[in-house]
Structure 1
Amino acid sequence: MTRRTVAQVMPEAGESVPEVATLPEQAQHTAFLASVSSLLAGSLDYQETLEQLAQLAIQSLADWCIIDMVEEDQTPWRMAVAHRDPATADLARELEQWPPPGGASPSALTRVLRTGQSGFYPVAPVADDLVVDAEELRHRFLALAKPVSVMIVPLAARGRTLGAITLVSTQPSRRYERSDLALAEELARRAALAADNARLYREARAAERRAGFLAEASRMLADSLDYATTLGSVVHLAVPFLADWCAAVLLQKDGSLRQVAEAHVDPAKVGLVRLIGEAWSQSDAPSLLRTAMRTGESGLRREISDAFLASVATTPEHLAMLRQLSPRSSMVVPLLARGRMLGGLSFVGTEARPRYGAADLAVAEDLARRAALALDNARLYRQAQDARLQAEGANRAKDEFLSVVSHELRTPLTPILAWARMLRRGGFEPGVAARALDVIERNARSQAQLVEDLLDVSRIISGKLRLEVRPLELAGVVEGATEAARPAAEAKGIQLVSVLDPRSGKVEGDGERLRQVVSNLLSNAIKFTPGGGRVEVRLRRLAGDVTLTVIDTGKGIAPEFLPHLFERFRQADSSSTRSYGGLGVGLAIVRHVVELHGGAVRATSAGEGQGAAFTVTLPAIAASGATATPGEPPGRPEPTTYPALDGLHVLVVDNEPDTCDLLATLLSRCGAETRTACSAAEARTLFGRWKVDVLVSDLGMPGEDGYALLRDLRSRAGERGDALPAIALTAYARAEDRVKALASGFERHVVKPVEPSELVSIVADVAGRS
C-alpha cells in the first residue's frame, strides 16, 4: 500500500467496511476479552489496572500500547506505556514521562479526546503527529518503532471521556482492520467502566483520607498559639501525606520572606530544603510562591523539567541543590487570613509520587486556610499577651511612680512642717530661726520644682508643651544655668568648670526651656557625682550646629540601661534602698524639649563608675544684624527691698483663706491698702463699698470663676469712669491657660507659687508705680 494522508486513509462517513474476522480470530478475540474482564474485575487500583491493561494489549493486539487519561481540568496525562521490543525500553520510559499533547495542540490523540470518536489509521502517515507532541521525541519514536498501523480508541464511561488507548502495530505483515478496531473499542469500553469504577473508588478513599488529614490538621493547629509551633506542625503533617517536602515562609514587616519551617520524607535532606529556602528568601528572583503571595492565588505546576529548575535557580549552587531533591511536581498556596497576607506554603512531590492535580491543590488550599487562621489567631493572642504584659508593666510603673511621687513630695514636707511647728513654740536663738527659715524655703522650692516637673510631663504626654521661640545666644543661657548650679556643686565639694566658646553662635529657641535643659543636665551630673569629683560644661560651634556637652566623673551608666535613659519615670534604681532621689522625669523632659527645638540629645558612658557625658546638638542660625536675646541667670537672689505701693488699693480674691491672708500681709507691708474676698460674690460687695486700684484674683473658684468676676467688675468700673488693672494669680499653668487669661482682659497671668518680690513688682507695674 502506498503512503497516503490521514484524510485519504479514513473512510468517508457512512462508508461500509466489511468485517473480515475469521471464526478462529473471533474465538481469539473472545478469549482476549475474557482475559481483559478477568483482569479488570480483580483490581480497584487505578494505576495498576491501567498498567496491566497495557501489558495485556501488547500480548494480543499491538506492539505498543499507550494509555492517556484526562484529569478533572481536561488536561491529558500519560498513565501507562507498554511495548514488545526490549531494544526500545529507553524510548518507552521517555514516552511514559513525557506529557501527551494538551488540548491546544492539534493531534490525533486530542481529536479523539475532544470528539469521543476513534481514530483509525491502517497506514500510519510518517508526517502526522499521532502519539507525541515534541518534535525531537516524535522523530525518534518514528525512527525506532517504525509504526505501520495505528488505532486510538476513547475510554468513555457514564457519558464522559476519561482518556484514550493508543495501539500501534510495527509489523508490516499486520495492518489493523475494522475487526481490530471493533475489538479495541470493546476493550476500551470494558476498561473505561473498570477505570471509572477504580477512579470513583480511589476518589472516595482519597476523600476519606483527606477528611481525616484535615481533621488531624485542625486538631494540631488548635493545640498551639505559637506561630513557629503552628507552622512546624503544618509542614510535618503535610509530609508525606501531601508532599515529599514542604516548606513554610512568613512575610516580614519589610516585605521580605523568611522560611520558618520545613520537612522532608528523608530527614537527612531537611537541611538541604532549608538551604534552598534561604537562597530563595534572600533573592529577589521571581518564583511561584512570590507570585502566589502577590496575587493571593494558588499555583500548580504539574511537571517540573530541568529547564524550569534552571530558570528559577538563583545560582549554580542553588540549581545543584534543587537537582539533588529531584522535584517532579509542585504546588504553592498563600497563607491569607482576614484580608492579611501572612506568608505561603510550598508542597513538592518527587518521582515517587503521582503528579499533583486539582484535588491535591484543593486539599493544600484547605490546609493553608486553616493554618492561616491558626497563625492569625496566634498573632492576635500574642498581641493580646503583649498588651496585657504592657498593661501590667504600666500598672507596676504607675504604682512605683506614685510611690516615688509620694516619697518625693513628703520628704520636703517633713522639715517644712516640723520647723514651722517648732518656730511657733518660740525660744530659738536668731541664728537657729534664720536657719530654720532657710530650710523651709529650700524645701518649699524643691516641692514646687517637683510639681512643675510633673506638669511638664503632663504637657509632654498630651502634646501641649509649647515654645516661645526667638533668636538667642545659647552661651548666656548656659552661663546663667551654670552659675545657678554652682552652689549645689560647691556644697558637695564638686569642681564645676565651664568652657564656653563665645563664637558658638545663636539658636532659635525658648530661653526658659533651654535653661531648663541645661539645669536638668547639670543637676543630674551633680547628683550622681561624689564629693571631690568634677563636672564640666562645654559649648562650641560644630559645623552648622551648636553643641552643648555636660561631662561628669560620677557613677556612670550601666550599658543595659542606656537605651532607657530618656524614658519617662525610668530610673536605674527604683528600689526602696536607692541612693538618689527624684521622679525620673528630668532627662525625659530634656529629650522632649531638645527635640521640639529640632535638636538631638545622646548619652555615653564607659559603664558604672566611669562617669557619663550628655551631648545636646541644636541647629545654629546664620549670623545677622538682629540682636539675640541673652539668657538671664535664673534663681536671682530675693531682693531685700520691695517696690513701694503706698496708698494703692488692692482687692485680693481667692477661695483659699490662707492665700488671701498671705497676699494681704505681703502687699500691706509694701504700703498698699488691701481687702480680701474668698468668693466672687464677696468681692462684688467690697467693690461696691471701696475704691479698687488693682484686682488680684484666682481663676478657679467655686460658684463663679475669675473670668466672670473680671467681666462684671470691669463693667461697673467703666460706669464710674475708672480703669481696673487685673492680675490672674492661679495654679492653672498651661500655655493655653495663659492665653485665655490675657484674652479675657487680665494684664498678667502669674502661676502659683509666686516669689513675693515678683508679685509686688507686677502689682506695681500694672498700677503704674514701677
Structure 2
Amino acid sequence: MRSVGLRRRFAVLVVAAILPLAVMSGVGIYALVQQQREQADRSSLELARALGTAVDGELRSTVAILEGLATASSLDDADMDEFYRVSQRVVATRPQWRAIILHDPSGKVVMHTGYPQGRADLAIAEPGSFDQLVRSRQPLVGPMRRGQRGEQGIPVRVPVLRDGNLRYVLTAVMNPDAIVDVVSHQKVPDDWIVSVFDIKSARVARSREHAKYLGGPPAPGLQRLMAAVGDEGVGPTYALESDALLTAISRSKFTGWTVAIGIPTANVDSGVYRSAIAYGSGILLSMLLGGVAAFAIARSINRPIGELRRAAQALGRGDMPALTPSDIHEIQEVADALIVAGEQRSRDEAERERLLAAERNARGGAEHARRRLEMLASAGAVFSRSLQPHATLEAIASIVVPNIADWCRVDLVDAEGKLQRALTHHSDPQKTRFGQELVQRLHASSETPGSMAWAVATGRSHLAHFDPPNEFDRIRDRDLLTFAQAIGLRAYFIVPLVARGRTLGAMAALQSESDRQFSEDDCALLVELAQRAALALDNARLYADAQSARSQSETANRVKDEFLAMLGHELRNPLAPIVTALHLMARRGAQESAMERRIIERQVAHLMRLVDDLLDVSRIARGKIQLSMERVRIQSVADRALELTQPMLERRVLPVAVDLPKEPVVVNGDPVRLAQVVANLLNNAAKFTPSDARIALSVRVDGDVVEIVVEDGGSGIAPDLLPRVFDLFTQGEQGMDRHAGGLGLGLAIVKTLVSMHGGTVSAASEGIGRGAMFTVRLPIAQEAAAPDVASAPTASVDSHGGRILLVDDNVDAAQLLEVVLVDAGYDVRVAHDGPSALASLDGFVPDLALLDIGLPGMDGYELASRLRADPRLRSMKPLRLVALTGYGREHDRARALATHFDEHLVKPVAADLLLSTMAALLGSPVAVAK
C-alpha cells in the first residue's frame, strides 16, 4: 500500500471540505433570497387582510347603527315625521354619512334626510343592491354611485322587518372619504399605494391622489392580477404612475370589496440582496480562514509525531523512552502512555495472580447470589398465587423452613390493633403442634428486646445467638426463657412486617437442633422475604377490603335505584290529579283563571322535567339507555328542540336567533334523544340569560362533521367551573332565590347522549358575565339525505262510549280522572283498592280497566292477574287493561306489558293521550284534528 504524508492528507481534507461548503453556500444564498421574497409576499398579504378587516369593520359599524335605527318605535307607528327627526340627529353624529334614506319594498322613497320631509320625486340612485336586499332580506353594501346631487356615495342597506315581513329598506349613504380615513389610520409607508375597490371594481379610496382617481377602474396590471388570484393573492403590477410594485390583494367575503396594497419592488429587492451579499461574504471568509488554519496545523503535527516514532522503537528495545514535552494534548497523552507502559510491565505478573484469586472469590459469591435470587423468585411466585392470608402464611413457612431456619413464626396485628398468633411451623408436624401449644400460652412482654410484640412496637429487627444452657441467663422475660429452653433455641432473627407504611406484624426465624447460625446474607435474605411477605399479606387484606367495599357499593347502588324509582312514583302521583284538573279547567273555559293555569302548567312541567332528568341519570349510570337509531335530519332535530323549549323561550323579549343550513344534513341517531340534547342546551341558555340578551342556535358543516352550536350572552361560566361543567350535579353559583333552578343534571345527560352517538360536546366561556357557547359535534351520515318524517297529526278522540273500571288509591286523582272520562262519554266505576274493584264486577262488567300499580294490599299486577282469570269476564270480549302508574322505568314498562297489561302509561299523563290510547284499545274511531 502506497503511503501518503500527513501534509498531503490535510491538503486533500481541506479541498474536500471547501468544495461541498462552496456548493452549499450557493444553495443557501439562493434559498435565502427565495425565503426573503416569500416573507415579503406573506407580509404584504397579511397587511392586505388586516386593512380589509378594518374596512369591513367600518362598514359593519354602519350596518349595526342602521339595524339599531331599524328598531325605532316610530317605524311601527308609521310616524315618518318622528323618524325623520331621529334620522337627522343620527346623520349629525356621523360626519362621513351623506344621508339616511327610507324606502318601501316597491322602491318608493318614504324619507330622505337630505331633503325636506314629504319630497316625493326622488328615485333610487343604485337599484341593483336594493333589489338584492328585497330578495335576501339581509344587510348588504352596494356599489358606489353618484346621487341626486352628483356626489359619489356608498349605499349601506338593512331590512326593516316586522312579524317576519319586510316593511321598509333603510339605507345610509356613506362618503368615500370615510374609507380613505380608514386607510390613512393604518399608517402605511408613504411610498406604498393602497386602493379599495367596490364589488363593481370601482375605486372607492386611494392612499395617493384619492380625488383624482375616485370611481376609476384598477390599473391594467392590477385587473389581470385580480382576475388570476381570486379572493386573495400576491403578484407584480404597475401603478397608474407606472411604478413597479409588488401587490397583495384581499377580497372581503362580507362586502365583496377588494383591498390592494402595492409595495415598491425596489424596497423588497434591496433587503434581499443585502442579506445575500452579507451571507455570501461570511461564507467565503470562513472558507479562506479554514484553509490557512488546516495547513498550519498539519505542519505543527509532523515534528512531534517523529519523536513518538523514535520513543516507540526505544520501548521495543526495553529502554525507557525520553520525550520532549509537546503542546498538542493528544500527542502528549501518547507520550505519557508510552512512559507508563514501561512502568506497567513490571507489575503485570503480580496483578494477574491477584485477579485470578479475586475471580475465584467472585464466582463463589455469584453462586451464593444466584441461590438467593432463586429463593426470592420462588417466594414471589408463591406469594402471587393467592390473595388469601392463610395461603400466604403457608408460603412463608415453606420458604423459611428448612432452607434458612429450623422454625418460623409469624404474629399479625388484627383489626383492633392486638397481636395474634398466626403461624408456628417446623418441618416435623409433631414439633409444629408442640410449638403452637407453647406460643398460645406464652406471651413475651413488648418491653423485652427480641420479642414479637417488641418488634411490632418499635419497627426494628433483632438478631441473637445463644450457647445453651449458660447463655440463656441473658433472657430476663420468663415466657421468652421458657420458650427458648423448650425448643433448644440456638439463634433467632426477628423482623417486623411492614407494607405501605403500615406495620402488619412480625416474622421470626429460629435455629435449634441444626446448630446453624445466621450470617449477614441470611439476615438480608430474611429482610427481603419479610418485605415481600408483608406486601402479599397486605394485598390479601386490601383484596378482602375491596370485596367488602364492592358488596357495599352494589347494595348502595341497588338501594339508590330503588329510591329513585320510588321517588319518581311518589312525585308523579300528586302531579297526576293536578294535570287532570288543569285539563278540566281548560275544557270548561274558565278565562278568569287562565293566567293561574298557565303558571301551574309551567311549574308542573318543570317538576316533570326534574323527575325525568333524575330517572335518566339513573338509567345512564346503569347503562340502561337504549337508542333507536335511524337516519335523521339535523334541521328536524333543531325544529323539535325549539318546539320542546317554546314554553320557556316564548317569554323572552329577544327571540332565539336560528341559523340552519339550507341543504339537508343527515346523521345516524335517535331523533328523540338528539332533540333532548339540543333542548337541554337551549333550556340551559334560557335559564342563565336575561330575556333581552342574545341566544343563538346555529348548525354548520365542518368536513364530515356537523356542529350544533348554542351560544348565549348570559351569566357565563367561571374558569374553575368550566372543566367540570358536564359533571353530575355541577352548577354555577346562584343567588338565594335560585331563579335558574335545576339539579345540575341536564349537561351531564347531554354529554352521555352525545357520546353514545359517537360525538363530542364542549363548552367555552370568557368568564363570568361574558356568555357561554356549547358545541355538539356529530359525524355526518355518508348516504344521501333522508326525507323529513312528518310529525304525527294530533288526534282527538270521538268516543262512542264504553264501560271503564278506574282503580287508584289516590282519591283526588281518581275523582278528577272520573270527571274527564265521564265528560268524554264513558260509563265509569271507581274503586280505591283491589278487593273493591273485584267486588264491583257483580253489577258492572267493564270494557277497559285503568289500574294503578302501587295499590294497598293487592298491587296492580296481582289485580290484573285476577281480572284476567275472573269467570265473570270470560264470556265478554277480552278486557283491555292499562297500567296508569308513577313507576316509569323501562323495567316497569316491560314488566307491565309482560303481565297481562295492554298498555303502560306514566303519571301524570295528558288527558288527550289517555283518551286516544283508550280509543285505540277499544276500537273507537279517531278523527284527525285539522
Return the TM-score normalized by structure 1. Answer: 0.47
Return the TM-score normalized by structure 2. Answer: 0.39
